[in-house]
Amino acid sequence: MGEVGIGLVGYGMMGKAHSYGYTVAPVMRALPHKPRLRAISGRDAGKVSRAADAYGFEEWTTDWRELVGRPDVDIVDICTPPGTHAEIAQAAAAAGKAVICEKPLALTYAQAAAARDAASKAGVLNAVGFNYRRLPAVSLMKRMVDEGAVGSLRLVRATWLSDEFVDPATPFDWRFDHAMGGTTIADLGSHLIDMATWMAGPIAEVAGQSETFVRRRSGRDVTVDDASAALVRFDSGARGVFEMARTAVRRPCDFTIEINGDKGTLVFDYARLNELRYGEGEDRAELYGMRRIRAEHETHPYAKSWWSVGQGVGYGSSFVNQLADLIERWPDGPWEPDFAEGAAVQAVCEAIERAAAEHRWVSVHEVAGSL
């Protein structure tokens, strides 16, 4: 078994999730290379040294540039706030490193496109952390859509409801700062847009609305939206509705995605992440309703590398699956979703932001030119 050197930038929640993914991936799946946790970086020496110990990294640094320059690092994995992503990704690509970047790829489409172009020019593998694709039930939903289980797609409905911004006393941090966190549209909506476009194809145009209900925190202006929604038209002619809100009381991280085709309906509900609901138009009339598929059968995506049927998987498993998929294809690739897909998602986010600000339908081409 060969080794692949990992350099991780950021030790927060995603730093932990990715470290967990690298550590568990070779336990659950036979991989040609073993991820070796070479170095982790963060701005606070005390915290990053403790994180290095806890997550299993051999060394730590307070300078991400030093990490990017290390010859023993093959993959730079970026787990810092969105406002830092594009600069680190471009530096890593220029140093000849493969890059994995958490979502959203950047703050703006221009930044995301610069990261995409830098990776492409350097010829390095690149991937964006849209981990929810790697939940077995979401992956099964994509497979069933591709196999025609719902027929021709008509409607895509996706929501992301959280309560993290409900309390006005929650102190200001990067998530409330547009220059570092970007928008709720991009933070939560990027996952929805990624899953929707993965299954239903590119989005042509959008309308949107946004609101910030708590406008000051810790004496500072909040510069992001608390909640937004979008109407979308796909290139295929399918229509969609997306909602992303951090002001939904008693909703922890509830996301759903539903597709209605001319022959059936598929529904994924994150609160029941090992299941997929399927309503088939030609099913026997007396069985009217939806079946609850347990997305854990050995014929289902990822099932063979997890526990026996009935045991289920969780959030952490999405990172294990994601990083195992990438390491499995090291060093030849291809990796997906890549920065080109991340930039395409960013273009939709920016189109929704523009549509909400200007109260009009905005074509994605207006933001991104011809993608």
Binding part of the chain for ligand NAD, among 11-19, 106-114, 140-148, 198-206 by CB under 6 A, reads: 11-19
Nearer to ligand NAD, 260 or 321 (CB): 321
Quick check: 225 and 162 in contact, CB under 8 A?
no
Asked if 316 interacts with ligand NAD (CB under 6 A), we say no
Length of the chain: 371
Q: Give me the least distance between CB of 231 and ligand NAD, in Å please.
A: 24
Nearest-Å Rg of the Cα atoms of the chain is 20
Asked if 10 interacts with ligand NAD (CB under 6 A), we say yes
CA-nearest of 73, 85, 89, 79 to 39 is: 73
Q: Give me the least distance between CB of 81 and ligand NAD, in Å please.
A: 5
| Stretch 163-192: interaction string toward ligand NAD, x if CB under 6 A | -----------x-----x------x-----
User: In whole angstroms, what is the distance from residue 265 CA to residue 280 CA?
Assistant: 7
147 exposure class (CB count in 10 Å sphere: 0-12, 13-18, 19+): exposed
112 exposure class (CB count in 10 Å sphere: 0-12, 13-18, 19+): buried
Binding part of the chain for ligand NAD, among 8-16, 142-150, 211-219, 283-291 by CB under 6 A, reads: 8-16
Asked if 15 interacts with ligand NAD (CB under 6 A), we say yes
Report how far apart, in Å, the C-alpha atoms of 26 and of each of 30, 327, 333, 337 are: 6, 9, 18, 21
Neighbours of 125 (CB within 10 A): 22
User: In whole angstroms, what is the distance from residue 183 CA to residue 210 CA?
Assistant: 10
Using CB under 6 A, which of 21, 81, 240, 301 touches ligand NAD?
A: 81
CA-nearest of 290, 270, 162, 146 to 226 is: 162
Asked if 287 interacts with ligand NAD (CB under 6 A), we say no
Using CB under 6 A, which of 25, 31, 73, 79 touches ligand NAD?
A: 79
Report how far apart, in Å, the C-alpha atoms of 115 and of each of 7, 123, 319 are: 18, 12, 22
| Stretch 84-123: interaction string toward ligand NAD, x if CB under 6 A | x-----------------xx--------------------
Using CB under 6 A, which of 80, 111, 159, 346 touches ligand NAD?
A: 80
Asked if 243 interacts with ligand NAD (CB under 6 A), we say no
Nearer to ligand NAD, 234 or 270 (CB): 270
Q: Which residues bind ligand NAD (CB under 6 A)?
A: 10-15, 42-43, 79-82, 84, 102-103, 129, 131, 174, 180, 187
